[in-house]
Chains A and B, each alone.
Chain A
Amino acid sequence: MSALYPFLAPDGDAATDLVRSTEAKAAESLELRLRVLAGLGPALVSCAAAMAAAFRAGGTLFAFGNGGSSTDAQAVAQVFRTPYGSSPGVPAICLTGDAALLTALANDVAFEVVFARQLAALGRPGDVAMALSTSGGSVNVLRGLEQARRTGMVTVGLAGAGGGRMAEEGLADHLFVVPSSSVHRVQEAQTTLCHVLRELAGRARAEA
């Protein structure tokens, strides 16, 4: 566990160490969140403006990802369709909520197409595709972004570490890379980025 908890002293009191390392992790989580907000600020503002324009024109948000990022995508869709302050909800749906569709596509075709196929069927020019990944390398997520771009959607990508293929291949119009090698810290900062996008997009839409 030393890789996860480098703060644990080898011979220290286990209970005290556990609390101290928890404090350190929580502080690290906050520090990363504030750092990405500061560093990615202009990109967030520009992305929120593009999303707000899409919603004003009747666009829908499609969110997707794998594993923990699939549930994070569900939360993103829920957060966008729920009113926040004076900002009304917008049409938003997650592509990982329908087990019948996911299992049918994965079983009959391939797991790589589970998002691309849905976007080909449901997406329209002017919609927004938001892809959540910690590696930036999940093939089904990348193919989803490719399909979204072919359809003429606004593409938003979230990744961690170096951004992976999502960054290398420039698959997202608006790319947010969280500079951490910890999957957990990346997801935590991504949650903040998505929430702030929702706050900013709601504001931009109200003011337009």
Chain B
Amino acid sequence: MAIEPGTPEDLLEQAAARRAAPGRALARDAGPIAAAARGMAARLRRGGRLITFGDGAAAADAGHVAVEFTHPVIVGKRALPAISLAGDAAALGGPAGGSGPETGFAAQIRTFGRPGDIALGVLTGEDDRRVRDGLAAARELGLLTVALTAASPEEGGSSGPVAADHVLTAWCDDPLVARELHVTAYHLLWELVHVVLDEPEEAAPRAACDTGGTCVTCSDTAVPVHVTELRPGGLALVDTGEGVEEVSVALVEARVGDVVLVHAKEAIAVLGGGGDGS
């Protein structure tokens, strides 16, 4: 991306101008973004996990997406299972410069991914072979694949088509502006996934244990419960209001009488109150 000559004020004006059309194009892609979020929500609702990856600055974005889902910035939003494959340098080591279906993200997807999961790859349009290989491996395994990619509006996709169930494109040939639009796109995906999850569930078959309301074991909602008994091995009996279940309290300092927030049978926070010190 060539920077036009000029005073800093000219450059600022150009910087704003270069962002306007791609930003409006993202708004026009609201339909595909919402469709991707619906697909992701359906998988998450059934216990799928979100697996993210990217190279270069997109590795950072992969990490950002994962933390959005696992640790929501909005208090009260449920934690959803998500992990970035780009945060562990050792896992990506392999032979230097290695690429292909048996290295990098593809290898991690093959060992860690499950058919019900979601793979979200962030492509910068530059050297994104490992991300493409990761998405291809994910498709083969049956994961839902989502690609955030970038393409020049003139050329209509210069880096070649990406094989994914949902391809969300930043229509822009400046890598920095494209990255900005990816940040907006994944924030929107997170927000929309929660909107969809908050809608009444469609007529999907429900698990037997989910018909009566709260099942701490299967529910993907974080549920506040009362600790009634501590057990060896980091376990505890809790009162969900509709019965007693055994959950793990290994991650928190829970005492009998405490209210803890349980997600997928794991207490993830002590909401306080009640502990009698026993």
With known contacts A33-B23, A187-B187, A19–B61 Cβ distance under 8 A? no
Q: Which of A80-88, A120-128, A146-154, A161-169 contacts B (4 or more CB under 8 A)?
A: A80-88
Whether B184 lies near A71 (C-beta < 8 A) is no
**Is B209 part of the binding interface, using a Cβ–Cβ cutoff of 8 Å?**
no
**Bound Cα distance A5, B2 (Å):** 38
Q: Which of A34, A48, A187 has a CB less than 8 Å from the CB of B16?
A: A34
**Bound Cα distance A43, B180 (Å):** 21
**Is A18 part of the binding interface, using a Cβ–Cβ cutoff of 8 Å?**
yes
With known contacts A75-B61, A79-B176, A37–B16 Cβ distance under 8 A? yes
**Is A192 part of the binding interface, using a Cβ–Cβ cutoff of 8 Å?**
yes
Chain A, 6-27, CB within 8 A of any chain B CB: 8, 14-15, 18-23, 25-27
Whether A22 lies near B188 (C-beta < 8 A) is yes
Interface size on A, residues (CB 8 A): 56
Whether A26 lies near B23 (C-beta < 8 A) is yes
Q: What A residues does B160 contact at CB under 8 A?
A: none
**Is A38 part of the binding interface, using a Cβ–Cβ cutoff of 8 Å?**
yes
**Bound Cα distance A184, B91 (Å):** 29
Q: What B residues does A34 contact at CB under 8 A?
A: 16, 19-20, 23
Q: What A residues does B64 contact at CB under 8 A?
A: 68, 71-72
**Bound Cα distance A192, B73 (Å):** 20
Whether B192 lies near A68 (C-beta < 8 A) is no
**Bound Cα distance A106, B219 (Å):** 33
With known contacts A71-B67, A74-B63, A188–B12 Cβ distance under 8 A? no
**Is A53 part of the binding interface, using a Cβ–Cβ cutoff of 8 Å?**
no
Whether A30 lies near B19 (C-beta < 8 A) is yes
Interface of chain A: mostly helix, strand, loop or mixed: helix
Interface size on B, residues (CB 8 A): 51
Whether A4 lies near B195 (C-beta < 8 A) is yes
**Is A204 part of the binding interface, using a Cβ–Cβ cutoff of 8 Å?**
yes
With known contacts A41-B12, A183-B73, A75–B57 Cβ distance under 8 A? yes
Q: Mark B18-46, 1 if CB is under 8 A from A, else 0.
A: 01100110111111011001100000000
**Bound Cα distance A44, B8 (Å):** 9
Q: Which 7 A-B pairs have the closest CB atoms?
A: A30-B23, A22-B30, A26-B27, A74-B60, A75-B60, A71-B64, A71-B63
Known: A85-B2, A203-B11. 16 other contacts (CB 8 A): A18-B37, A18-B195, A19-B30, A21-B195, A22-B27, A27-B27, A30-B20, A33-B23, A41-B12, A45-B12, A67-B71, A72-B60, A74-B57, A184-B190, A191-B183, A204-B8
- A residues lining the B interface (CB < 8 Å): 1, 3-5, 8, 14-15, 18-23, 25-27, 29-30, 33-34, 37-38, 41, 44-45, 48-49, 67-68, 70-72, 74-75, 78-79, 82, 84-87, 134, 183-184, 187-188, 191-192, 195-196, 198-200, 202-204
